[in-house]
Amino acid sequence: MKIFIDTADVDEIREAAKLGVLDGVTTNPSLVAKTGRKMREVLEDICELVPGPVSAEVLSLELDGMLREARELAAIAPNIVIKLPLTADGIRATKHLTDDGVRTNVTLCFSPLQALIAAKAGATYISPFVGRLDDVGHDGMDLIAQLVEIYGNYDFDTQILVASVRTPTHVLEAVRLGADVATLPYAVIGRLLQHPLTDIGIERFLADAKKIPTS
């Protein structure tokens, strides 16, 4: 499974990239706003740091505006992926862009039927928001299981990008279900490495190492 980082913080991306396992980046207007910088500047910096896919979201809700913004964003760097909302105009834009050879990430997916339509429109990625489903009393990972089954039934090329990830458990379940990608906050990436028995083992090794004669 590919691991993306979900942030617009260049420092977080730089640190995550040092692990050597980062495959891409997802951003959104909320994340960019937190930086206090212009969107284009942020995206340019990210694309220089990460050679993999970088999702950049359009702001318009109308088809013509989406297509105009998509072309502007795609011109920033060859690894830009256009992020579009799962609306009627968003699906139309997805189809237009796919036909033009532009990669897309259809976001704010909360149902398998939404994901079916996105796949039929040729979306490169579909972003189901598991954490937000959990917040309203649904099991977000049930949606991932449904998408893996549906996409597998019909050999759709659309990749399942698990989004709104809150915990390492979300990541584990995504891997076990066979999702293509999970996009994680910086803090969750760090938690994937943590286990108390690892810490205890290191402490014991270091304590024993001090007992080894040096001469």
- The set of catalytic residues is 83
Any idea what the Cα angle at residue 133 is, between residues 172 and 17, rounded to 5°?
Answer: 45
**Under 8 Å between Cβ of 158 and 124:** yes
> What span, in angstroms and rounded, lies between the C-alpha atoms of 92 and 58?
14
Provide the angle, in degrees to the nearest 10, between the axes of the packed helices 140-154 and 112-120.
40
CA separation for the pair 45, 10 (Å, rounded): 7
CA–CA distance, 166 with 131 (Å, rounded to integer): 6
| Four-residue CA torsion sign, 48, 54, 59, 62 | positive
How far is it, in rounded angstroms, from Cα 157 to Cα 122? 8
